[in-house]
Amino acid sequence: MKIETVPFQVVDWKTVDITEHAGDSGKAFWRTFQEGNIRVRMVEYTPGYHANHWCKKGHVLLVMEGELTTELDDGRKFTLQPGMSYQVADDLFPHRSYTEKGAKLFIVD
């Protein structure tokens, strides 16, 4: 990832509007900051959330609270606890996530 044309900025996440995104089950609530070629998000998944698509976008994802399971389209699954992250490049490993307990995430893509 090469971050381009993004000046130094401070984000007060509590002032960023929330958007709601439905999964196959549960909901995701995003606070999104976008500048130049990066998108930074604070995301909260409700308990029982299950993504409704396979994602091919690259991310750096950090679990801040809760528990998140991410599955790859080759069948592998990874369960992340607070303080754990994953990194994946665009178009490399399609993935989708779900959570039984709910999760709060910090994502850069």
Cα–Cα nearest to 39, from 16, 67, 15: 16
What are the domain boundaries of the chain?
19-108
Q: What is the CATH number of domain 19-108?
A: 2.60.120.10
DSSP 15: G
Q: Are 71 and 2 in contact (CB under 8 A)?
A: no
Give tens-digit pLDDT for 21-79.
Answer: 999 999 999 999 999 999 999 999 999 999 999 999 999 999 999 999 999 999 999 99
Give tens-digit pLDDT for 57-71.
Answer: 999 999 999 999 999
